[in-house]
Structure 1
Amino acid sequence: MAGLTALVSRLADDRRAQPRDDLISTLVNDPDPAQALSMEEIVVNLWNLYLAGLWTTAHLLATTTYLLFSRPGPAGSAHQDPGLVSRVVQETLRYVPPTVELVPRQALRDVQIDGHTIKAGDRLRLMVTKANRDQTRYTDPDTFDPTHERALPLSFSAGPHYCIGAQLAITMAERLCQVLTDPAYGAQLTGPTPSFHRTLTAPVALGIDAVHLQLHPRERV
């Protein structure tokens, strides 16, 4: 995290000195001083764009691909069933979300939850992965099952905190499923079985380092 902060700080300084046609240059060279972001705000925004916009999306694509091809059934039907493709992606987001696992919040008022009092001002860390496997909300929550409709997970948060890039990430994952399950490619899992692990220390997130697919292209008739 410290290294990434230093990197985006150097990029911001570079674009301020030599602007280019890119997002960083736009952020650091606002012509209106009243609207200009501070260096701290610029660094935090660039840091979040990298982690939330690129890094988590890459993990979603890899995780969805692995779960799609490692379970019997979905891969063979997904290409012809857009509804199944959508459920595979949503179930991946629920089952092992590649998003931030611990979400910091501060209580604005006293709240009673399961016999415990959370007082106004208390700071909390909410576990998204736990909520996505809530037994009162999902049937058989510890099983990956895209064959039936489930309630939407909280992997992209909710309300005013809902991820602004959620639809783009979902669309990318759905399109990837549609392409890879095309029988013309004959895609199959190969190589070592990936293991899911926490890929950040704070806030932690779940993901896999790589997924290996072998393609056997066939001639289209």
Structure 2
Amino acid sequence: MSPDTLFQRITEYANRADPYPLYAELRGNGVTRQEGGSYLVGSYHDIAALLHDPRISSDSRNRADPDTVPLLRRGPQPAAFIGLDDPEHDRLRRIAMRPFGPPHSPGRIDALSTEITRVADELADAFRDRGRVDVVEDFAYPLPVTVICRLLGVPHADVPRIRGWTNEVIASVDPAPGKDEEDRREAGLQARQAMGAYLGDLADKRRTDPSDDMLSALVHDSGPDGRLTRGELMATATLLLIAGHETTVNLITNGALTLLRDPEARRRLREDPGLMPGAVEELLRYEPPVHLLPQRTPLADVEVSGVTIPKGAPLVLVLASGNRDPERFDAPDRFDPSREDNQHFGFGGGVHNCFGAPLARLETQLALRTLLPGLEGFQLAEDPPPYRRSPILRGPRHLRIERASGA
């Protein structure tokens, strides 16, 4: 098929369960211009170079065609720092990082280990004697959403509202066109504004009644970069809440699916628990939670592998394709928990590398360590499982497993 339809085919839901043949086709064709005018990049070395290239903008307002600026950039709430360039991005990111981890809050993530393990054990115990389990609903979703809500200071009773808003936001950034596209984006905008307003009100309460959560820290921080405005706090907290659990849900679920399909890997991890940190790194390469970065824009004409990408053109970096590039990784389609030299794109790269990576790594290691014994005696009820619609944040919507006969 024509390479200028690759983005269309990658984003089609029919290919969600196995996009990897399309990624191989992309790498074989090099940098390709798509029917809509965007440019697709899928090789490891090209992606790595572009992630560190200061001429590549994360701010979609730099697009040559203003109609391609996402709807979520519009409205009264400012953009989160993930969609900004330096110096604005750097200032907001530094403020957000101060209460999150080193060097200003070095013990915050490590201190969560006991709590994460306790929550994981409770969730696993609840279905240990059942004959049928949905790993997403019963384990992979409630664990990280509980952790991020407690970290930020969001009451657990409000988790259903958070989930509803998050689903609308994620659906709204689906790049696949459809007859309901504008409705999805409008719903996403409204959900983002509602979540921001909710978190802003919660932060206002922390001004007079502070706690030990991150919202309190952000409200009262008077570091060298100044304080967040109320709008900046709303946008930052919304980003932290969504990104702080959505990607980890996918990572845990993809990990469980991979291990259910690979009995030998399960055996190795049971016999040598010390392999788990490396296994999580391999999962980030092999089945990453984020497959595409669809909102990059060159600030000048940029040549990539002999192709000139013009200033202002939409640029899509297919991170999951780079993670399976045989020019960078030996046997890239094999899951190897002991793989060395594993510099994957599981958390992006460059100045926008995910600063929540330490928390995601810790949660996934502890989650899979807890889940692993319980997987014995279970088998997939359906393979492939039903996937979520998003080609960006890719993972099963459900992962139903059932006890094997005689187990």
Same fold (TM over 0.5): yes
Deviation digits for residues 71-96 of structure 1, max 9, x if unmatched?
A: 12011120222454334322321222
Q: Following superposition of structure 1 onto structure 2, how do residues 203-218 of structure 1 map, counting pairs within 5 Å?
A: 204-213=392-401
* Distance (whole Å) between structure 1 residues aligned to residue 397 and residue 336 of structure 2: 23
Q: Is the 8 A contact 1:79 1:85 kept in 2?
A: no
- Counterpart in the other structure of 1:58: 249
User: Which segments of 5 or more consecutive residues in structure 1 lack a partner in the other structure?
Assistant: 217-221
Residue of structure 2 in register with 1:5 after alignment:
193
Map of 1:24 onto structure 2: 215
Alignment of 1:77-156 (within 5 A): 77-82=268-273, 84-99=275-290, 101-107=292-298, 110-119=301-310, 122-141=313-332, 143-146=333-336, 149=339, 151-156=342-347
User: Are the aligned partners of 2:196 and 2:237 in contact in 1 as well (CA < 8 Å)?
Assistant: yes
Matches of 2:221 and 2:372 in 1, distance apart? 45
Deviations for 1:129-160, whole angstroms, at most 9, x for unmatched residues?
Answer: 2221223212343x242155253210201233
Conserved 8 A contact 2:386-2:399: no
Query: Where does residue 219 of structure 1 map in the other structure?
Result: none
Structure with greater helix share of residues: 2
Counterpart AA for 2:315: L
User: Aligned to 1:197, which of 377, 381, 387?
Assistant: 387
1:101–1:206 CA contact under 8 A, matched in 2: no
CA distance 1:135–1:175, change in 2 (3 Å): same
1:168 and 1:30 map into 2 onto residues whose CA distance is 21
Distance 1:175 1:18 in 2: 31
1:60 Cα deviation from its structure 2 partner: 0.9
Distance change (3 Å), C-alpha of 1:30 and 1:147: closer
| DSSP-derived class of the 1:189 partner | strand
Sort the Cα spacing of 1:206 and 1:82 in 2 relative to 1 into closer, same or farther, 3 A.
same
Judging changes above 3 Å, is the alpha-carbon distance between structure 1 residues 153 and 187 closer, same or farther for their aligned structure 2 residues? farther
State whether residues 194 and 209 of structure 1, in contact with CA within 8 Å, keep that contact through their aligned partners in structure 2.
no
Most deviating of 190-199 and 5-14: 190-199
Q: CA 1:120–1:47 in 2, change beyond 3 Å: closer, same or farther?
A: same
- Residue equivalent to 1:188: 378
CA–CA separation in structure 1 for the residues paired with 2:222 and 2:263: 56
Among 179, 183, 194, the alignment partner of 2:370 is: 179
Contact 1:181 1:187 in 2 (8 A): no
Greater Cα shift, 112-121 or 17-26: 17-26
Q: Is the 8 A contact 2:199 2:237 kept in 1?
A: no
**Equivalent residue of 2:397, what SS?**
coil
Q: Distance in 1 between matches of 2:239 and 2:321?
A: 23
Stretch of structure 1 that moved more, 88-97 or 207-216: 207-216
Q: CA deviation at 1:54?
A: 1.1
Highest RCO, 1 vs 2 (Cα 8 Å, sep ≥ 6): 2
TM-superposition CA deviations, 1:173-195 (whole Å, max 9, x none): 2223333334x884523533453
Q: TM-score, normalised by structure 2?
A: 0.45
Is contact 1:195–1:208 with CA below 8 Å preserved after alignment?
A: yes
Task: Give the count of matched residue pairs.
Answer: 211
CA distance in 1, matches of 2:386, 2:403: 24
CA contact (8 A) 1:103 1:126 kept: yes
Please give the alpha-carbon distance, in whole angstroms, between the structure 2 residues aligned to 1:8 and 1:87: 36
CA distance in 2, matches of 1:185, 1:60: 16
Helix, strand or coil at the partner of 2:271: coil
